[in-house]
Amino acid sequence: MTKKCPACNTGRLGKTDNIVSEIGGYVFVEKGERCSNCGQEFPFEKESQRTIELARRLGVWPEPLTLYRTLSEVGNSLVFRIPSDLERQLKLKAGDEVKVTKLGHKIVIEPV
């Protein structure tokens, strides 16, 4: 007996061996289940853990991080200080260029 899809609640889950995930430019293929109606994919937990371990070894699995900082004022501009542990992890140094992107109410800062 096949299971009902928890996403659409109408389709049935069937086994598949070609769930594709892209992490940090690498492509991983996992086994799991796919809905016959909505196409939602559900990798098996063991497969997901294997993918995470491989991505960690490759250095592309993101580390969850939330920091709270107070903005400083220099002249007429606000300044955000990057913590030293992030400097080391991202190999940043004074004079490096960064890209600042506004996404809705979020600011994304990326090394160039």
- In three-state secondary structure terms, 34 is strand
| Closest to 43 measured CA to CA, from 17, 69, 22, 66 | 17
Over the stretch 55-89, which tens digit does the pLDDT of each residue have? 888 888 877 777 788 888 899 999 888 888 788 87
Confirm whether 20 is domain-assigned. yes
| Closest to 34 measured CA to CA, from 24, 20, 46 | 20
Over the stretch 24-55, which tens digit does the pLDDT of each residue have? 889 999 999 999 999 999 999 999 999 999 98
Reported as a pLDDT band with limits 50, 70 and 90, residue 1 is low
Domains: count for the chain: 2
Confirm whether 38 is domain-assigned. yes
Give the integer Cα–Cα distance in Å for 86 and 84: 5
- pLDDT > 80? residue 102: yes
- pLDDT > 80? residue 103: yes
Confirm whether 65 is domain-assigned. no
> 49 and 25, same structural domain?
yes
Q: 89: which 2 tokens?
A: 């992890």
**pTM for the predicted model, two decimal places:** 0.55
> 51 and 20, same structural domain?
yes
Element (H, E) at 46: helix 45-58
Give the integer Cα–Cα distance in Å for 63 and 51: 15
